[in-house]
Amino acid sequence: MAVRAINDRVCAVGVIDWDRQVFDELLTLPEGTTYNAYIVKGSEKTALIDAVDAGFEEELITNLIRADIASLDYIILNHAEQDHTGALPMLYELFPSATIVTTEKCQDLIKILHQIPNHRFMIVKDGETLSLGDCTLEFLETPWVHWPETMMTYLQEDKLLFSCDLFGAHFATSRLIAMDERIWYGPAKRYFAEIMVPFRAKVRDHLERLSSYEIACIAPSHGPVHANPTPIVEAYQEWSSEEVKNLVIIPYISMHGSTKTMVRTLTDALIRRGIETRPFDLGRADTGLIASLLLDAATVVIATPTVLFGPHPKAANIAFIANMLRAKCRFVSIIGSYGWGGKAVEDLSGMISKIDAELLEPVYIRGQLNEEGTQLLENLADEILKRHTDNNLP
């Protein structure tokens, strides 16, 4: 990646991972990602902010050379996760006089992840500052976006916030600055849905605190830089809220077609009632897209056949993910078909204990959908409509 200037003293020296398809062996990245890093050149000292993923050390060093960086005084670590500290062991060797600046909690993690000795660290606390000569870095401890040790760095003179994971996007783009909201909005929302949503209460707290700062530019550690912070901040206010929409998503899996017929019938019943509805075939669906819509959906209906004695593993997986993400939905239900028995409904409902939602009467029928089963699905659609209407969902 080329070195790109943000202003006279700040430049981007991070890397683009065009081809990465999965993160944490879990999250799909249809548009790759970037591991951003920034140089802040003060009149007396130079700081590097964040340190890209392992495997990109050479590219980072090339960028530092292109940026005319012969030495570093400080390496600022906003977050210990390896996608921002992967190059640290090499930087530590290459710049022996550089001080690693981070929080105590981050130091603790860095020590176990990278075996860096204590004497190389400078521990900073919330609100402390570090002068680079003609400019000053202020450190803001912002835990749980996305690990407990996360902090942000604010360049006071330029009103520039280095926000690390917060406000990021897994989006490999050659554009440094976010331009068209229609392009970055989807990847940023997906990223929030996959990473930040379990911590949305913390995000709200941090947004509140950041509102007292004048922020002219947000430079996250993934995706484009927001030279106009308002759209991404407003998007975060919406995504981190507990608000949901008049939307039902139906993640389903079907082995012999009975459950699929039920999903089609329920989908049709909901659409007839004016409710936005989106079924997802879990045999093909992109879980990142499901996660994105989990940010909006007032109701989630999981549809599964019985496999041996319980839910299909793909249905169990999406229930596990929704539970892990603490989905915002207010109502859940389960539908499906069985042949000779099992505990699919009981098992699935036990898997979503962290979701604060009302369980609407499941519709679990034996064999093919018949008239009675169809009526039960109509009744479920009525119940969903009533809940959505009573809650004045937009």
> How far from 140 is each of 77, 163, 374, 385, CA to CA, in Å?
12, 10, 55, 44
What token pair was written down for 174? 């050659």
Contacts of 370 (CB under 8 A, 6+ apart): none
Pick the stretch among 61-69, 78-86, 206-214, 288-296 that binds ligand FEO (CB under 6 A): 78-86
Q: Measured at CB, which residue is nearest to ligand FEO?
A: 81
CB of 22 to ligand FEO, least distance (A): 14
Closest-CA residue to 249 (of 215, 208, 284, 295): 295
Handedness of CA 196, 226, 154, 68 (dihedral sign): positive
- Considering the complex, state which of residue 165 and residue 296 has its C-beta at the smaller distance from ligand FEO: 165
Beta strands 358-359 and 363-366: pairing type?
A: unpaired
- Asked if residue 83 binds ligand FEO (CB under 6 A), the reply is yes
Smallest distance, Å, CB 285 to ligand FEO?
24
Q: Pick the closer one to ligand FEO by CB: 17 or 81.
A: 81
Provide the β-strand partners of residue 247.
276
The residue type at 195? I
Q: Which of these segments, 76-84, 208-216, 321-329, 355-363, binds ligand FEO (CB under 6 A)? A: 76-84
Per the listing, tokens 């809940």 go with 387
| 85 near ligand FEO (CB under 6 A) | no
Of 127, 131, 120, 122, residue with least CA distance to 103: 122
Residue from 31, 57, 165, 296 that binds ligand FEO (CB under 6 A)? 165
79 near ligand FEO (CB under 6 A)? yes
Q: Which is nearer to ligand FEO, 140 or 352 (CB)?
A: 140
The count of chain residues that interact with ligand FEO, using the rule CB under 6 A, is: 8
Residue 16 or 266 with smaller CB distance to ligand FEO: 16
Binding residue for ligand FEO, selected from 31, 81, 194, 347, defined by CB under 6 A:
81
CA atoms of 256 and 133, how far apart (whole Å): 70
Could you give the CA distance from residue 333 to residue 302 in angstroms, rounded to a whole number?
Answer: 6
The answer to whether residue 17 forms part of the interface with ligand FEO (CB under 6 A) is no
Does 146 participate in binding ligand FEO (rule CB under 6 A)? yes
Residues that bind ligand FEO (CB under 6 A): 79, 81, 83-84, 146, 165, 221-222
